[in-house]
Amino acid sequence: MSEKKLFIPVLLGTPRKHRESGHVARWLLGKIEERGGEIETQLFDVRDFNLPPDDYGMEIKDDFPEWRDAMTRADGLVIVTPEYNHGYPGTLKSVLDLLLPEYIHKAVAFAAVSAQVWGGVRVIEALVQTSRELGFAVTFTDLNFPRVQTLFDDDGKLLDEKAYESRTKAFLDELVWMSKTLRWGRENLPSKFHSSQK
């Protein structure tokens, strides 16, 4: 199996001004970087996509070359999303809908953020359906951040690292396993879906 580093970007899924999800995304980016040479990562923020008011979807993907090229090269994706009325932010859907072949048979893992006690379990259920149609292979070890407003200080420091230690390891272990396995499959098993891939 190829020992090449995995490339797994993190997508921060809400543009909201006072978003708490930003703390989660940056913290998780740090955790991925702590894995050392195993994974290369990069933060994408839906706020940075200058989405047009009068167009949508794959036809405009070349207007977002950094995202397009990153997901072409990527082995997986981490989506950090808040739960908004049991669903995901519309901006996140608009960004995901820019691509499709680039996602096929790549791993996706979810970190969900909520103000209430459920930790975004319902937004993950909603994202699973959409992710499948986009061609992703979903992991089943999620990260949940319930009552997120109590979890971080103003500088984005997670107050109780210990509480997230084993879950985060399990989350990343599964994501790495899935990403490596799927990369091996894309590189070694012919499929009509992978012709445009690396």
Ligand X SMILES: Cc1cc2nc3c(=O)[nH]c(=O)nc-3n(C[C@H](O)[C@H](O)[C@H](O)COP(=O)(O)O)c2cc1C
Q: Rule CB under 6 A: choose which of 36, 65, 85, 198 binds ligand X.
A: 85
Q: Which residue is nearest to ligand X (CB)?
A: 82
Q: Does 148 bind ligand X (CB under 6 A)?
A: yes
Nearest to 58 by CA among 45, 67, 48, 47: 67
Site for ligand X in 17-76 (CB under 6 A): 19-21
Give the x-and-dash track for 95-134 against ligand X (CB under 6 A).
------------------xxxx------------------
Nearest distance in Å: CB 130, ligand X = 17
Nearest distance in Å: CB 95, ligand X = 15
Indicate the SS3 state at residue 44.
strand
What's the one-letter identity of residue 171? F
Q: Does 83 bind ligand X (CB under 6 A)?
A: yes
CB closer to ligand X out of 49 and 84 = 84
130, β-bridge pairs: none
Q: Rule CB under 6 A: choose which of 43, 84, 97, 141 binds ligand X.
A: 84
Round to whole Å and give the CA distance between 164 and 161: 5
Nearest to 80 by CA among 134, 157, 16: 16
Burial 54-90 (b: 16+ CB within 10 A, else e): eeeeeeebeebeebbebbeebbbbbbbbbbbeebbbe
C-alpha distances in angstroms, 193 versus 142, 144, 198? 27, 32, 12
CB closer to ligand X out of 55 and 160 = 160
- What is the binding site for ligand X (CB under 6 A)? 14, 16, 19-21, 82-86, 113-116, 148-149
